[in-house]
Chain A
Amino acid sequence: MAAKIKLDNASFKYPIYALASRSLKVSMFRQATGGSIGDKGGVVYVQALSNISFELSPGDRLGIIGRNGSGKSTMLRVLAGLAHPQSGTVTVEGRVVPLIEKALGINPELSGYANIELPLRLLGATRAEVKKAQQEIPEFCGLGRFIHLPFRTYSDGMKTRLAFAISTALQADILVLDEWLAAGDLEFQERAEVRLTKLLDDTEIVVLASHAPQLIEYVCNKTLWMHGGEMVMLGPTREVLEAYQRSTHNPISLAYAATG
C-alpha cells in the first residue's frame, strides 16, 4: 500500500479554558496570534487551522514554514492523529511516526534499556520491532554499561543520544518532524546524521515543520507557507521560500526566530 495524505478543507480550533471570559487577556491574545482567536460563549477558541487542503503521495517531502503561531505544529498534530478537525476531512494512509517530542515516554527511574520499549510501542512498534531495537540501540548509542542504569543518572549528552536513537529506530511510511532532531556531541553527530538521512530516504512521505528556510531547502521538495492558520502558498520549495523571504522585511532574522 502506498502512503498517502489528503486534507480536504480541514479546519481545527481548540478551546482555552483558563482564558474564559477574560476580555483583556483575550484581546491581548488576539494581538499576539495575528487575529486567529475567537470568543464564543465564554470559552475562548484558537482557530489554529482554517480550510486546509492538500495531497501528498510517495516521494513528497513537505516543508511547513511560517512564523510562531501560524499553525505549523497544529498541522503536525493533525497528521499524527492528535487533533480532530471540526470540519473537513483528513485521510492518512500508512504508518505515521511522529517525531514531535524527543524524550517521549521515557521514565527517569527506569534503566535506559527498560526505556526503549514504551516509546517505541507508543509510536506503534510491533513486538518484533521492539526486540530488534533493543539489540541495535545500545550498540548505536555506545552507552556501554550505562544502558542498565537508571536514565536519570545519565549525562545530558547520553540522554540526548538515547532519545535520538529511540526516536529514529522505527521505519515509517510517513514521518512527521518538528524541527530537526538534535544529536549531541560532534563525534555522535556524524553517525546521527547518517542514521537520520537513511531513515528519511527509506520513508515514503516526510513532513517537516521548521523556522529555518535552509533546512527546508535541504530536505524538502515541496513547501507550505502558513500564516494565522491559513495556507498562504503551496508549491516547489524554492518558489515558496523566495516569496516567504520577500514578504518579511529582514529575511536573515527568520533563521534566528524563537522556536515555538
Chain B
Amino acid sequence: MSAEADRLLILEPGRAERHYWRDLWSYRELFAILAWRDLAVRYKQTVIGVVWAVLRPLLTMMIFTVIFSVVARLPSEGAAPYPILVYAAMLPWFLFSTILSEASNSLVSNANLISKVYFPRLIVPCATLLVSLVDFLVSFVLLLGLMAVFSFWPDWRILLLPLFILLAILAALGPALLMTAMNVKYRDFRFLIPFVVQFGLYVSPVGFSSSVVPEQWRLLYSLNPMVGVIDGFRWCLLGGEAQIYWPGFCLSLAVVAILLVIGVRYFRHTERTFADIV
C-alpha cells in the first residue's frame, strides 16, 4: 500500500477543518481533471463553442457602439475608437459574467458527484474558471483583430493586463462562490443570476467611459467592483488614452477583497451540508 493511499479520517462535531487549505492542495490533480473535462465537453462541438465566445461580445459591442456613441453621442477616452473602448470593457465583463453563471450552476449540475463521494467542494466552482478563461482568450484574439482594423495599438501598459485579468477573476469569484452555495440551498438563485448579469452590464461602464459619470458620483459608482476592473482594462489597452480614477479604483479593490472573503467563508460554512441537500 502506497503512502499516499494511507488515510485517516476522523469526523466529529466542532472539529474545525484545520487542514482545509492543505487538504485542498492535495486535491489539485482532481481539480485539473474536472477543469479539463468541463473544457472538453464545452468544446466538443468546437465550432459552436468558439463561435459563441466570439459572437457574443462582438454583437454586444456593435449594439453598444451604435447606442452610446452614434445615438447618445457619448465621448470616447481621448483618441481611442469607440468600438475598441467598448470592446476593452466587454472582455472583463464577459469574463466576470461567464464565471458567475458557470460557477453558480456547477454544484447543482455536478450533484451526482457531490452526493456520492467526498472531496473539497470548492474545487467544483473553481474548475469552471478554466472554461471561462479560454472563452476570454478567444475573445481577446478578436480584440487584436479589431485593433488591426482601426490601426490602434496599445503601448507597454498591455504588459500589466494579466494583473487585471486576475483582478477580474477575483472580482467574479467572491460573488460566484456566494451564489454557488446559495444556489444549492435555494434554487431560486438560478433565476436571479441571469438577471444580475443582464442588469450588471448596464450599471457597469461597459458601453461608455466611466469618466462620463459626474465627479461627485464617481466614488459611489466605484462601489461596483467591475468599475475598477474595467477602468484597469482600459488603462492597459487604450494606449494611455484612459486614466484610472485612483480613489475609486482603491474602493473597487476593497469591495473585491471583501466580497471574496465573504464568498469563501460562506462557501466553507455551508460546504458540509451540500451532499445532504443538493
**Interface set of A (CB-CB < 8 Å, partner B):** 1, 10, 14-15, 17, 77-78, 80-96, 98, 100-101, 104-105, 107, 109-110, 114, 117-118, 121-124, 126-127, 173
Contact B277 A78 (CB under 8 A): no
Interface CB pairs A-B, < 8 A, 8: A78-B11, A82-B116, A89-B11, A91-B8, A104-B113, A114-B40, A121-B30, A126-B4
Closest to A89 in B: B12
Closest to B119 in A: A122
Bound CA–CA A83/B114 (angstroms): 11
* Residues of chain A with a CB closer than 8 A to B2's CB: 126
Q: What string of 1s and 0s marks CB contacts (under 8 Å) between B235-278 and chain A?
A: 00000000000000000000000000000000000001101110
Closest to B118 in A: A81
Contact A105 B112 (CB under 8 A): yes
* Residues of chain A with a CB closer than 8 A to B1's CB: 1, 95, 173
Min CB–CB distance B34 → chain A (angstroms): 7
Contact B37 A15 (CB under 8 A): no
Contact A90 B44 (CB under 8 A): no
* Residues of chain A with a CB closer than 8 A to B4's CB: 126
Min CB–CB distance A178 → chain B (angstroms): 10
Contact B118 A89 (CB under 8 A): no
Contact A110 B272 (CB under 8 A): no
- Of the listed residues A1, A91, A118, A121, the one surrounded by the most CB atoms of chain B closer than 10 A to its CB is A121
Q: Is B192 an interface residue (CB 8 A)?
A: no
Min CB–CB distance A146 → chain B (angstroms): 18
Q: Is B185 an interface residue (CB 8 A)?
A: yes
Q: What string of 1s and 0s marks CB contacts (under 8 Å) between B1-43 and chain A?
A: 1101111111111000000000000000110011001001100
Q: What string of 1s and 0s marks CB contacts (under 8 Å) between B114-156 and chain A?
A: 0111110000000000000000000000000000000000000
Min CB–CB distance B130 → chain A (angstroms): 15
Closest to A13 in B: B276
* Residues of chain B with a CB closer than 8 A to A126's CB: 2, 4-5
Min CB–CB distance B33 → chain A (angstroms): 5
Q: Which of B6, B8, B13, B37 contacts A86 (CB 8 A)?
A: B13
A-B residue pairs, 4 tightest by C-beta: A81-B118, A90-B11, A101-B116, A14-B276
Chain B facing A: main interface SS: mixed
Contact B13 A110 (CB under 8 A): no
Q: Which of B13, B115, B185, B186 contacts A85 (CB 8 A)?
A: B13
Contact B41 A92 (CB under 8 A): no
Min CB–CB distance A215 → chain B (angstroms): 21
Contact B29 A104 (CB under 8 A): no
Q: Which of B29, B112, B118, B185 contacts A80 (CB 8 A)?
A: B118
Q: Assuming A17-B185, A77-B275, A95-B6, is B41 touching A107 (CB within 8 A)?
A: yes
Min CB–CB distance A209 → chain B (angstroms): 14
- Of the listed residues B7, B40, B275, the one surrounded by the most CB atoms of chain A closer than 10 A to its CB is B7
Additional A-B contact list (20), CB under 8 Å, known A82-B118, A95-B7, A118-B33: A14-B277, A17-B186, A77-B275, A82-B275, A85-B11, A88-B12, A90-B10, A90-B11, A91-B8, A92-B10, A95-B5, A98-B116, A100-B117, A109-B41, A110-B40, A117-B33, A118-B34, A122-B119, A124-B5, A173-B5
Q: What string of 1s and 0s marks CB contacts (under 8 Å) between B75-96 and chain A?
A: 0000000000000000000000
Min CB–CB distance A242 → chain B (angstroms): 33
Q: Which of B11, B37, B277 contacts A118 (CB 8 A)?
A: B37
Q: In chain B between 171 and 197, which residues have their CB closer than 8 angstroms to a CB of chain A?
A: 185-186
* Residues of chain A with a CB closer than 8 A to B10's CB: 89-92
* Residues of chain A with a CB closer than 8 A to B186's CB: 17
* Residues of chain B with a CB closer than 8 A to A95's CB: 1, 5-7
